[in-house]
Amino acid sequence: MTGLDCRVVVPERGVDVAFAVPAGQTLALTGANGTGKSTVLDALAGWLRPEAGHARLNGRTLFTAGTGHDSWVPARHRRVGYLTQDARLFPHLSAEANVAFGLDRAGVVGRAARRRAARAWLERVGVGELAGRRPHQMSGGQAQRTAIARVLASEPQLVLLDEPLAALDAQVVPQIRALLAEVLTGRTTVLVTHHAADAEALAHATHRIARAAPARPPTA
């Protein structure tokens, strides 16, 4: 089957979450703080090995755990793009070089071709004129636009968004939200968010993680 199908079990964080995302659709993952939304994304990205569960992306197994014959695909072979609330651009590289960084995996070969592709992506996310800027010369919104271009330029088969609008100034949030809605069309995406407005604007469906039963009774 195409799309994403996963279950992530991390008992020490009280996480046991299972969901599926049809190919090309966006699922919003919501729930209170501490319910393990970021834990799920880390497991899908390949930064955290769950105690049990599995993830399959377009028929490929990303990991299986707790079955006796576990498997684990390292992050760099997953083709899973991860966008966090802080853009995490490489501070020593220009916007263009940041975007070009992931073009290798997309199969773009040659300096001129990489340059063209990076520029095209920067144009597409609305910061074409900032190609030569370093991250510290950009506003938060510009940096996040560049980060969006970078993650999509690497042609991921799954996009993970962890509160992508949370660190931005309120006045740029609607623009970046609209940009995400546009560029994520047709991409398999998991979006972690606190905001109903984000889920409504970007997601086809919402999976709400219930608060897990506390491991210890709360102190009175």
141 binds another protein (CB under 8 A): no
Among residues 59, 68, 69, 74, the one that binds another protein under rule CB under 8 A = 74
Q: Are 205 and 25 in contact (CB under 8 A)?
A: yes
DSSP SS3 for 101: helix
Looking at 53, 65, 82, 207, which residue binds another protein (CB under 8 A)?
82
Nearer to another protein, 136 or 216 (CB): 136
The verdict on 136 binding another protein (CB under 8 A) reads yes
Nearer to another protein, 52 or 73 (CB): 73
Question: 52-57 and 4-10: which strand pairing?
Answer: antiparallel
Q: Is 44 in the site for another protein (CB under 8 A)?
A: no
Scanning the structure block, which residue is given the tokens 């968010």? 193
Verify binding: residue 114, another protein, rule CB under 8 A. no
Considering the rule CB under 8 A, would residue 37 count as an interface residue with another protein? no
Closest listed residue to residue 138, CA positions, set 84, 174, 85, 89: 89
123 binds another protein (CB under 8 A): no
- Residues 141 and 204: their CA atoms lie apart, in Å, by 25
Strands of 4-10's sheet, edge to edge? 15-21, 4-10, 52-57, 60-65, 71-72
Determine if 115 is a binding residue for another protein (CB under 8 A): no
Where do contacts with another protein occur on this chain (CB under 8 A)? Answer: 45-47, 74-82, 88, 90-92, 101-102, 104-105, 135-136, 150-151, 154
